[in-house]
Homo-oligomer: A and B are copies of this chain.
């Protein structure tokens, strides 16, 4: 346990102002968007400006056996950067450099840069960084990599890990290592780069990342279809994915549609059981053809209305509606945000089962989904002043996870386990795979200084 004196030693190795111990200033570093009520009060916050600062902090933590909570933009939804009593929150928010190489089609990015900043920098060269979590305007690349973040375009373009070619990481003993790099193929040694993607700050602190870029996306055509039943909508999802690969395939259920309509007054069908928003970014002519094929599938599948447009602005209005779905539902009460996913054929049973849970538990559950990936975000809504409702909401939350797992699904598709989903991880993985996770953790962080208690339980005797 470090003393004030030893903390001064750390401060001396950092630029002026990088070490914060003022409780008022530290307040902003205690929570991410999961708003964990059990968040602790950290010993200090370090706002690293470069890899050297990260190394100095990690070495100090290792020497004094102090936990480190790595932190990007604090936009995480699973509580993976929740502060703990006595820990050092290591923020990379100031490390924001982005260098685009238009020849290798790569970006070298510091972890604090926002996803949207990388997209913008790439766009200046006619290039595109596809992964697009709904929070892309305020989430960091470091956090995206820590959680292997997804988004809306994944159905065609894959997730974060598919775009990570290499990284620099500070290990638990303070060493800085380089994994991978701007080589499109490299199989020398174990796939350590891929192991660090999705490791949620448990294995090291990423100080730089090399991302693969692609050429700018073509302007998409957009289709919106509404359905009288959940089954008709999810069957249409299956019909679409079996035939072609749209560049977006999103789902909103009735409570979500209504929350969005309350917000936007854009004229969505408040009676619809569900709505699909689909895009195709095939070349001109072919996108229209794809969208027409999708319209036929939806119509044959019982869509009550089917509208499509080639106008990018009009299409973007529907995507914007999808993107504001979470904030729109948040206005209805306090929310518990889910991230369960199932193999595609079980999407229908999942959303129908969620509707049943909502009814039985008498709590509102609004479901939006990256339907083409089988990845859903049910939002359990409750009145925080109503203890009974709060309890029923938490029961519903757990039942939704259990339902997803019983359908061969996962407890988290793209948000990460963090502290929020940790109670479900052991059952989901089973004892053998859980033990493998612990072995990897011990191998790379034997002292257990990185993000203890997030994702994995702290082993007894540690």
Closest Cβ–Cβ distance, residue A329 to chain B (whole Å) = 21
For residue A175, CB closer than 8 A to chain B, the reply is: yes
Contact A189 B434 (CB under 8 A): yes
Q: Which residue of B lies closest to A443 (CB)?
A: B443
For residue A83, CB closer than 8 A to chain B, the reply is: no
For residue A162, CB closer than 8 A to chain B, the reply is: yes
Segment of A52-60, A316-324, A421-429 in the binding face: A421-429
Within 8 A of B (CB), among A406-458: 408-417, 421, 425, 428-430, 432-434, 436-437, 439-444, 455
Closest Cβ–Cβ distance, residue A416 to chain B (whole Å) = 6
Contact B434 A187 (CB under 8 A): no
Contacts of A244 in B (CB 8 A): 215
Contacts of A197 in B (CB 8 A): 191, 194
Contact B413 A183 (CB under 8 A): yes
Contacts of A385 in B (CB 8 A): none
Contact A195 B195 (CB under 8 A): yes
Contacts of A429 in B (CB 8 A): 188-189
For residue A184, CB closer than 8 A to chain B, the reply is: yes
**A430 CA to B180 CA, complexed, in Å:** 12
**A66 CA to B64 CA, complexed, in Å:** 42
Q: Which residue of B lies closest to A154 (CB)?
A: B185
- Contact among B214, B414, B442 with A245 in the assembled complex (CB-CB below 8 Å): B214
Contact A417 B188 (CB under 8 A): yes
**A221 CA to B23 CA, complexed, in Å:** 65
**A103 CA to B343 CA, complexed, in Å:** 9
**A416 CA to B155 CA, complexed, in Å:** 30
Residues 173-186 of chain A, each 1 if its beta carbon lies under 8 Å from chain B, else 0:
00101110111111
Within 8 A of B (CB), among A154-171: 154-155, 158-159, 161-162, 171
Contact A374 B215 (CB under 8 A): no
**A230 CA to B102 CA, complexed, in Å:** 22
For residue A279, CB closer than 8 A to chain B, the reply is: no
Q: Which residue of B lies closest to A283 (CB)?
A: B286
Contacts of A150 in B (CB 8 A): 185
Q: Which residue of B lies closest to A178 (CB)?
A: B433
Q: How many of chain A's residues have a CB under 8 angstroms from any CB in B? A: 86
**A343 CA to B106 CA, complexed, in Å:** 10
Q: Which residue of B lies closest to A151 (CB)?
A: B185
Residues 338-351 of chain A, each 1 if its beta carbon lies under 8 Å from chain B, else 0:
00011111000000
Contact A370 B185 (CB under 8 A): yes
For residue A32, CB closer than 8 A to chain B, the reply is: no
Closest Cβ–Cβ distance, residue A37 to chain B (whole Å) = 23
Q: Which residue of B lies closest to A149 (CB)?
A: B187
Residues 230-255 of chain A, each 1 if its beta carbon lies under 8 Å from chain B, else 0:
00000000100111110000000000
Contact A343 B183 (CB under 8 A): yes
Contact B181 A408 (CB under 8 A): yes
Contacts of A345 in B (CB 8 A): 103-104
Closest Cβ–Cβ distance, residue A100 to chain B (whole Å) = 12
**A261 CA to B181 CA, complexed, in Å:** 37
For residue A105, CB closer than 8 A to chain B, the reply is: yes
Contact B158 A414 (CB under 8 A): no
**A102 CA to B430 CA, complexed, in Å:** 28
Say yes or no: A183-B215 contact (C-beta < 8 A), given A177-B436, A425-B189, A444-B439: no
**A102 CA to B243 CA, complexed, in Å:** 10
Contacts of A159 in B (CB 8 A): 185
**A286 CA to B183 CA, complexed, in Å:** 29
For residue A285, CB closer than 8 A to chain B, the reply is: yes
Contact B191 A148 (CB under 8 A): yes
Contact B181 A343 (CB under 8 A): yes
Contact A433 B177 (CB under 8 A): yes
**A98 CA to B102 CA, complexed, in Å:** 41
Contacts of A412 in B (CB 8 A): 186-188
**A345 CA to B102 CA, complexed, in Å:** 10
Contact A104 B191 (CB under 8 A): no
Contacts of A242 in B (CB 8 A): 102-103, 105
Q: What residues of chain A have their CB less than 8 Å away from a CB belonging to chain B?
A: 102-105, 147-148, 150, 154-155, 158-159, 161-162, 171, 175, 177-179, 181-192, 194-195, 197-199, 202-203, 214-215, 238, 241-245, 282-283, 285-286, 341-345, 370, 372-375, 408-417, 421, 425, 428-430, 432-434, 436-437, 439-444, 455
- In the A-B complex, the 6 residue pairs with the smallest Cβ-Cβ separation, listed nearest first, are A443-B443, A194-B194, A185-B413, A186-B410, A184-B373, A439-B443
